[in-house]
Amino acid sequence: MTDTIPVRVWRGGDAGAFQTFDVALRDNQTVLDIVTDIQRRQDPTLSYRFACRVGVCGSCAMTVNGVPRWTCRTHVAKVAAEGVLTLEPLRNLPRLKDLAVDMTPFFDKWQKAGGTFEGRKTRDDAVDPVKPGSRARKAADAAIECINCAVCYAACDVVDWDPDYLGPAALNRVWTLVNDRRHARRSDTLDKAAQSGGCGSCHSQGACMRHCPVGLSPTESIAGLKRALLFSLLGGRL
């Protein structure tokens, strides 16, 4: 007989309740495997979101036993030490149905934070070389691999307290742009990073850094933005 695990899954939107499913345990099973198993074998109406299943697309994040995680790379054996799995949608985002949230506010804030590259050259100009070993490029490299999964956004208490706060992911993106020597509007980008609800709202609690599935440190990126704002004083931009 196969071992099973009780899985409590949030059903519904804001007004909903947990429904418990018993799911067969398998070797090397991920939390996403569990959710897929429930949908295929027990309840096809279960809503959740995924695409790549290999930790690249950033679409399968959920709250697993109270912690925001990418479910496709989270092994059940590692997170269900108590023998129970509780699955909820991500925190800090509007609940649509079951395990799916509305990501619109998250991506709207990416836009609002001003993370848009603007070049200063045309296609007729020579390519502007970026030295891989330069300090700015190293800073950008450390932050660039974000997969937009919103785990940091769900983990952040400041996002929870202040709905205007842009959040770790959007500001992390801005930090990569500030360190891009090809970017034409660095000062404007810093201005936007400093807007109400911008980098000044971060308390450096580090929840984003702790939970980021790809090991980035938005906390450090935001500290970098604050530092860059201070140094911009030297350029007379206050």
Residues found near another protein in the complex (CB under 8 A): 158, 161-162, 190-191, 194-196, 198-201, 203, 226, 229-230, 233, 237-238
User: What does the CA dihedral 188, 189, 192, 198 come to, rounded to 10 degrees?
Assistant: -150
Complex with another protein: residue 61 or 228, whichever CB lies closer: 228
Complex with another protein: residue 142 or 190, whichever CB lies closer: 190
Contact 60, 204 (CB under 8 A): no
Whole-number Å distance between alpha carbons of 54 and 4: 24
Minimal distance, residue 237 CB to another protein, in Å: 8
Minimal distance, residue 37 CB to another protein, in Å: 40
Cα dihedral sign for 213, 209, 192, 137? negative
Whole-number Å distance between alpha carbons of 98 and 195: 34
176 secondary structure, DSSP code? H
Complex with another protein: residue 78 or 237, whichever CB lies closer: 237
Q: First-to-last CA distance in the chain? A: 69
Whole-number Å distance between alpha carbons of 60 and 49: 5
Minimal distance, residue 138 CB to another protein, in Å: 23
Minimal distance, residue 206 CB to another protein, in Å: 17
Complex with another protein: residue 4 or 205, whichever CB lies closer: 205
The Cα-based distances of 159 to 13, 93, 118 in angstroms read 20, 10, 28
Complex with another protein: residue 105 or 197, whichever CB lies closer: 197
Minimal distance, residue 154 CB to another protein, in Å: 17
Query: Which residue type sits at 195?
Result: Q
Complex with another protein: residue 147 or 158, whichever CB lies closer: 158
Minimal distance, residue 234 CB to another protein, in Å: 11
Measuring CA to CA, which residue among 67, 64, 70, 62 is closest to residue 90?
Answer: 62
